[in-house]
Amino acid sequence: MKKGGILNPKINQLISETGHTDTIVITDAGLPIPENVTHRIDLALKEGIPNFLEVLDTVLTELEVERVILAEEVKTASPEMHEQILLRFPNLSIEYVPHEEFKQQTKQARGFIRSGEFTAYANVILVAGVVY
């Protein structure tokens, strides 16, 4: 965990409880969230608010990330969003999996933060690293 300025107490709790190799999912408005998830933080107010990149950027101010998992489909369905996501992780390993496998992997996540994003496949699994 880094030191920053997130105001949402549930996001702060999720990040503070996240250990090395735990995962957090930042989602668009449509990704199904498993019912057994401990932390489900729904920030979506209406289409596009807050947008996916805003939520991702905010989480990245606090969370040390060592690896990222994306759905393979983001490359062709939403190339602009894909490029924006990659810009945030210039030195990290990016793993691509089919969307159905992505959804299966989310079942192991410590928590989800849902945005109001309507861009297809604007979802990311963040694998927590350590700051030392």
Q: Which residues are catalytic?
A: 20
CA distances from 74 to 11, 77, 100 (A): 25, 5, 13
Is there a contact between 106 and 112 (Cβ–Cβ < 8 Å)? yes
Is there a contact between 103 and 40 (Cβ–Cβ < 8 Å)? no
Angle at Cα 103 formed by Cα 67 and Cα 33, nearest 5°? 105
Is there a contact between 78 and 122 (Cβ–Cβ < 8 Å)? yes
